[in-house]
């Protein structure tokens, strides 16, 4: 079994007291152990991968437990709470909707869903005219994959079903989203037989599939991050497809995270522009997965603004509401309209309480200029992380990111080999020092990911950097 978990034995830690962090107990907190043990007893092991901090409440850039400790949060609860944790405006919007008396609407019309669909289209670039509101990011990705295939098959025929994505990409945990993902270790449960049953009874047998088997219709190419893939030319895209026996006319779509979440890695602008042109030439839909990047995280409202291109479809989630579960696909009307009335639905589509939270969160992001804050504070954060990289050049192989998302790529001394153990120790040390990050992600589990709420200020960034610096020194 891969993955690491945290020791639940309380240990003495040096007390911490700054404006943003306070640790005044042993860690993990002895009184929290029964809760942590219950979670380990009743939840699958897969859920035990985060630092043993029992969240009690969270506000702004801080997370609190019940025992007097306070963490500076650099996770945003996996890039969700962009407008800040527990914002009064979001809470009030949720309470108002609950008290108004509509908790669910399915696909029946409701004013709240109408308002959110209109808002999402208003925020999107011109050619993206329709919004389909769903619940989780993976669900939005599944829907985008389905729309791209449907579009290509209806318009061009069954030869055009290959979905191209990128090595090391992450698009969710469901079947389609993991087929599109580029992390082989996550796909070991998916095996597509290359033969299919034909006939029944005595005359039945097996026949080689004439067309590409479903799993083979998802093809990955290198992601030009400039670190793990040094060749950032668009030639590599075309060459990789050819090497895998894919004719460009077979491609129904290309899906990419706007930046790769696993490393906070961007592609060069020219590459993405060539990709967009290539997609247009071959009538393959370009899908940007904006589930992490959307709503200001990278210092622009949409992450793809850095590339100066517009996708045909985009998937949204996470910071869309900054709180309750809600996601969306926003895209070209001709694609979004491929299914007729009642043919593309979801039970919890546009849940009115979640939609109220989303409208309130987007409103905060706009009114408080959080996109601009992410840009300005991003310069401070990335600059400080670069200083750490220069301080520990042997073990921080690269610093990727823009705005308020960054990845420190921890490596085995002087090499490019990811050092997942070191990255894990850094995150564990940070938790003991009152700086909260989720466990390392990315290639070899080697990326320490930094993603604070977009309301963070310079003083809090410097306070977190001090803790991270100590944590790295101690981990070494």
Ligand X SMILES: Cc1ncc(COP(=O)(O)O)c(C=O)c1O
Residues at the contact surface with ligand X, assessed by CB under 6 A:
136-138, 141, 170-172, 257, 261, 289, 291-292, 317
Q: How many CB atoms lie within 10 A of CB 337?
A: 13
Tell me which residue has tokens 């295939």: 149
Whole-number minimum distance, CB 182 to ligand X, in Å? Answer: 12
194-199 contacts, C-beta under 8 A, 24 or more apart? none
- Pairing status of strand 130-134 against strand 327-331: antiparallel
Nearer to ligand X, 40 or 173 (CB): 173
Nearer to ligand X, 142 or 419 (CB): 142
Q: How many CB atoms lie within 10 A of CB 469?
A: 15
Nearer to ligand X, 436 or 465 (CB): 436
Nearest residue to 8 via CA among 54, 67, 46, 44: 54
Nearer to ligand X, 32 or 292 (CB): 292
Whole-number minimum distance, CB 80 to ligand X, in Å? Answer: 9
Whole-number minimum distance, CB 395 to ligand X, in Å? Answer: 26
How many Å is the maximal CA-CA distance in the chain?
A: 77
Whole-number minimum distance, CB 442 to ligand X, in Å? Answer: 11
CA distance 299 to 295: 9
Helix (H) or strand (E) holding 235: helix 235-243
Question: What are the phi and psi torsion angles at 409 (to 5°)?
Answer: -90, 100
Nearer to ligand X, 137 or 434 (CB): 137
- Burial degree of 15 (CB within 10 A; 0-12, 13-18, 19+): exposed
Nearer to ligand X, 228 or 425 (CB): 228
Nearest residue to 36 via CA among 65, 60, 2, 3: 65
Nearer to ligand X, 64 or 74 (CB): 74
Nearest residue to 186 via CA among 173, 199, 196, 198: 173
Beta-bridge partners for 331: 130, 313
Whole-number minimum distance, CB 136 to ligand X, in Å? Answer: 4
Contact predicate 62/70, CB 8 Å: yes
Question: What are the phi and psi torsion angles at 428 (to 5°)?
Answer: -65, -45
* Residue number of the CB atom closest to ligand X: 137
Nearer to ligand X, 55 or 67 (CB): 55
């Amino acid at each position: 079994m891969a993955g690491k978990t945290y020791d639940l034995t309380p240990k003495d830690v040096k007390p911490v007291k700054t404006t943003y962090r306070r640790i005044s107990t042993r860690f993990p907190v002895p009184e929290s152990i029964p809760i942590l043990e219950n979670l380990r007893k009743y939840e699958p092991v897969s859920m035990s991968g985060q630092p043993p901090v029992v969240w009690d409440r969270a506000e702004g850039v801080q997370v609190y437990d019940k025992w007097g400790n306070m963490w500076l949060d650099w996770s945003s609860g996996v890039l969700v709470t962009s407008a800040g944790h527990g914002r009064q405006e979001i809470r009030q919007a949720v309470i108002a909707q609950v008290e108004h008396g509509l908790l669910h609407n399915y696909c029946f019309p409701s004013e709240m869903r109408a308002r959110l669909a209109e808002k999402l289209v208003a925020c999107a670039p011109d050619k993206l005219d329709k919004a389909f509101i769903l619940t989780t990011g993976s669900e939005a990705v599944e829907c985008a994959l389905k729309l791209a295939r449907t579009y290509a098959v209806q318009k061009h025929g069954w030869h055009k079903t290959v979905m191209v994505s990128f090595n090391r990409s992450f698009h969710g945990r469901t079947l389609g989203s993991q087929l599109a993902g580029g992390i082989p270790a996550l796909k070991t449960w998916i095996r597509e037989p290359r033969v299919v049953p034909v006939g029944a009874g005595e005359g039945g047998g097996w026949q080689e599939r004439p067309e590409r088997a479903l799993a083979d219709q998802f093809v990955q190419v290198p992601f030009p991050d400039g670190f793990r893939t040094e060749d950032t030319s668009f030639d590599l895209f075309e060459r990789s497809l050819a090497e895998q026996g894919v004719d460009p006319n077979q491609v129904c779509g290309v899906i990419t995270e706007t930046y790769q979440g696993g490393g906070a890695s961007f592609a060069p602008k020219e590459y993405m522009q060539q990709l967009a042109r290539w997609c247009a030439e071959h009538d393959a839909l370009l899908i940007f997965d904006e589930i992490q990047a959307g709503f200001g995280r990278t210092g622009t409202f949409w992450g793809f603004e850095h590339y100066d291109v517009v996708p045909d479809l985009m998937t949204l989630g996470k910071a869309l509401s900054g709180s309750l579960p809600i996601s969306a696909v926003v895209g070209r009307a001709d694609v979004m309209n491929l299914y007729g009335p009642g043919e593309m639905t979801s039970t919890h589509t546009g849940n009115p309480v979640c939609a109220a939270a989303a409208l309130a969160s987007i409103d905060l992001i706009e009114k408080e200029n959080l996109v601009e804050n992410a840009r300005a504070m991003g310069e401070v954060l990335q600059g400080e992380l670069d200083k750490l990289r220069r301080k520990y050049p042997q073990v921080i192989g690269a610093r990727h990111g823009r705005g308020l998302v960054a990845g420190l790529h921890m490596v085995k001394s002087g090499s490019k080999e990811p050092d997942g153990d070191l990255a894990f120790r850094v995150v564990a040390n940070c938790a003991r020092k009152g700086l909260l990050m989720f466990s390392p992600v990315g290639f070899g589990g080697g990326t320490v990911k930094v993603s604070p709420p977009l309301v963070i200020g310079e003083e809090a960034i410097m306070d977190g950097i001090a803790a991270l610096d100590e944590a790295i020194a101690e981990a070494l």
